Structure 1
Amino acid sequence: MSHSDDLLWGAVAGISRFAALLTMAELGLADHLAHGPLDAGELARRCGAHAPSLRRVLRELAAMDVVRPAGRDGYDLTAKGVALRSDVPDSVRSAIRMLGEEGFWYAMGNLPATVRHGSSAFVERYGHLYDHFAANPAVSGVFDDYMRRRAVPFTEGLVERYAFPATATMVDVAGGKGHILARVLRANPDMRGILFDLEHVAGRAAETLAAEGLSDRAEVVPGDFFVSVPAGGDVYLLASVLHNWDDADAVRILRNVRRAMKPDGRVLVLEVVLPDDQAPHLGKDLDMRMLAIFNGGVERSRDEYAAVLRQADLALRAVVELGSGASLIEAGPR
């Protein structure tokens, strides 16, 4: 079998393996096995599963080395399987659950229809992603946990590899619950921050900043970035924002930032930047999700970000690699 055949058949087998991982994540198998091996029947009882069906899934998971047989009918976690626990810092449980959520599963399965018609089958059935979350709080909670965990390596890269102005005020545009802003402020004790997001998000961000002891250095401002953003900031951060929007909307957001920023201010865009070659890359995988889930959402190359910034009267100055596939694009007034 050729290498290309291996890749193709590996992708075919991958759907079954992902389904087994999704079952493990949804049933919380790793949490149940956290303190040692369990008999498959007892494990089924604890997670409310049909024991004969669970044994078949456990056999597949053992072949993937996330669990291993222990005794006649027992299973234990492997070192790899520990990452499926919900209580470890690098847990992937919420990421797997999010990708297996009904709407996401539908979106990826209907990517051919999206490509045929040029509009997202997901949006046609479920509406905008964030409306879907608003209508399904449990799904929104899984997504929030996924995004928080996904942001950890990017955020650590941001504070380690980028030199912020010592006394700057940073406006975190669409900053969500405030985890990135909190980390930046902790690493830069003379900086101040403004978290800007929709009103229903702003309250949760205020709770995060208060819990971090940062209420005296950070304020939360509700609003819509298509209308305006807070004025007078030295630094404007847009983390995983622009890839949700097509070029026209991305330019609208950036123009509002350009109008609000100080003459010597800077814009920081934290995204996955696509390479110009044909090699496999995280951004290319993410771009399939953006295509499936959003009308207009897209991952971009350096040149494509430069073009969007230029239309907003901004100039790309530098790209800093943050690790884990993410990059920080620094821009300033043209």
Structure 2
Amino acid sequence: MTAQPADAVWDAIYGISRFAALATMAELGFADHLKDGPLSSDQLAERCAAHPQSVRRVLRELASMGFVRSVPEGYEVTEAGLTLTDDSPRSVRSAIRLVREEAYWYAMAKLPETVKSGASAFTERYGPGYHYLAAHPETATVFDDYMARRAVPFAGGLEAACDFTGVRQVVDLGGGRGQILSAVLGAHPQVSGVLFDLDRVIPSGREAMAAAGLADRCEFVVGDFFEGVTAGADVYILANVIHNWSDEDSIRILSNIRSAMAADGRILIVEIVLPDDDSPHVGKDADMRMLALLNGGTERTRTEYQTLLEKSGLTLSEIVELPGWASAIVATPI
């Protein structure tokens, strides 16, 4: 069939239907039920306590997307579908579950209103994102798992791409469960770490670092990087932090680190760096989420990061590409 001008519009519209099928698979645990072998749609519905005919229709859509496939016994999960199991090291189930949250859908649906007013409709209705998570612990658990899973592709990449020779202490600001810090400490026995985050996050970070056998080399600090950070470290890591904040707030965070860091210290800012042209880029999709969910949060280009750093008393030394769309923006004192 000849391509039509509106084809891209229809693909975006029907993409919502495909996402809804994936959200059903993730929320009802289809992949976990299918990972040990094929099931008929009726058997799967029984295990999920779901309506059999509705399950059959969703499976038909998922099969067309490549997450399950038809076999004589019913349906089996594919390699792509296994990424929606809880126990897979490549699991992205929490990402799907987070996006299907009612408040998230509200924010995306209200993007036109956000663009008109310049203020996030989500924030207007629910308050700041981290306040929302504090008030909704079940969502916070999904969010924390999503952030941990999201860090996996670039945690090892950061350790491999950046030189930690001679580094004595690394502070991971907003480090969550410490995936990145664990990779650094695991590869460099001479390094001690500080995991710096909110009080609701630190317990899970402490547990994860203990499971990795690294708790004895890590200090756990509850803090607010708007007020100040651990002083005197050689390296400060900010992963998926700066894009959450306006330029003014970002400069405040970076200036606090600049005041606290060693004279020859570095900041490693792990973020998506947008291209300056109109080429497609996953960061532009992410930027729509930033716009919808946060007042002031934004993905940025190299030039925009360079400006932020200069206003914070820092200089952009280099940008190192990492796996998983992210880059390490290396900043040093001016």
For the aligned pair, the TM-score class normalised by the smaller chain equals over 0.9
- 1:243 equivalenced with 2:208 (yes/no): no
The amino acid across from 2:206 in the alignment is: A
Structure 1 residues 78 and 333, CA gap change in structure 2 (3 angstroms): same
Q: Aligned residue for 1:67?
A: 68
Contact map agreement 1:168 1:191 (CA 8 A) in 2: yes
| 2:295 equivalent to 1:295 | yes
State the Cα deviation string for residues 24-53 of structure 1 (Å, max 9, x = none). 111101111111111111111110111111
Hey, what does 1:322 align to over in structure 2? 322
State the alpha-carbon separation in 1 of the partners of residues 225 and 39 from structure 2. 51
1:213 positional shift: 2.1
Residue 193 of structure 2 corresponds to which residue in structure 1?
193
What corresponds to 1:209 in structure 2? 209
In the alignment, is the contact (CA less than 8 A) between 1:166 and 1:188 conserved in 2?
A: no
TM-score by length of 2: 0.96
1:256-315 deviation per Cα after TM superposition (whole angstroms, max 9, x unaligned): 001001111111101011011211111111101110110010000011000001000100
* In structure 1, distance between residues paired with 2:214 and 2:92: 28
Aligned position for 2:44: 43
Q: State the distance in 2 between where 1:87 and 1:176 align.
A: 19
TM-score, reference length from structure 1: 0.96
Deviation, structure 1 residue 3: 6.6
8 Å contact from structure 2 (residues 244, 294) kept in 1: yes
Q: In the alignment, is the contact (CA less than 8 A) between 2:167 and 2:234 conserved in 1?
A: no
Deviations 1:115-156 (A, max 9, x none): 111111111122111122112221111111111111001112
CA contact (8 A) 1:254 1:309 kept: yes
Post-superposition CA distance 1:197-252 (Å, at most 9, x none):
22332233222222222233211122111111011111111111100000000000
Distance in 1 (alpha carbons) for counterparts of 2:194 and 2:318: 24
Q: 1:141 to 1:200 in 2, by over 3 A?
A: closer
Q: Does 2:16 correspond to 1:10? A: no
1:115-194 correspondence runs (5 A): 115-194=115-194
Q: Structure 1 counterpart of 2:291, which letter?
A: L
- How far residue 4 of structure 1 moved from its aligned partner, in angstroms, is 4.9
Q: Which amino acid aligns with 1:235?
A: V
Percent of pairs with identical residues: 55
Describe the SS at the equivalent of 2:267. strand
* In structure 2, distance between residues paired with 1:306 and 1:269: 12
Quick one: distance in 2 between partners of 1:152 and 1:17? Answer: 25
C-alpha contact 1:110 1:121 (8 A) present in aligned 2: yes
Secondary structure of 1:320 counterpart: strand
Aligned to 2:27: 26
Aligned length: 333
C-alpha contact 1:175 1:195 (8 A) present in aligned 2: yes
Report if the CA contact (8 A) 2:85-2:91 is conserved: yes
Which piece of structure 1 moves more, 143-152 or 164-173? 164-173
How many angstroms apart in 1 are the aligned matches of 2:210 and 2:173? 19
Q: Tell me by how many angstroms 1:177 deviates.
A: 2.0
Partner of 1:85: 85
What code does the residue aligned with 1:65 have?
A: G
| Unmatched 5+ stretches in structure 2 | none
Q: Name the SS for the 1:304 alignment partner.
A: helix
In the alignment, the residues of structure 2 paired with residue 257 and residue 35 of structure 1 have an alpha-carbon distance, to the nearest angstrom, of: 49
Tell me the CA shift for residue 112 of structure 1.
1.1
Between stretches 231-240 and 196-205, larger displacement belongs to 196-205
- Quick one: distance in 1 between partners of 2:207 and 2:296? 32
| Cα separation, 2, equivalents of 1:149 and 1:306 | 28
One-letter amino acid matched to 2:77: L
Task: Give the conservation status (yes or no) of the 8 Å contact 2:148–2:176.
Answer: no
Alpha-carbon distance in 1 for matches of 2:308, 2:255:
10
* Residue range with higher mean Cα deviation, 232-241 or 87-96: 87-96
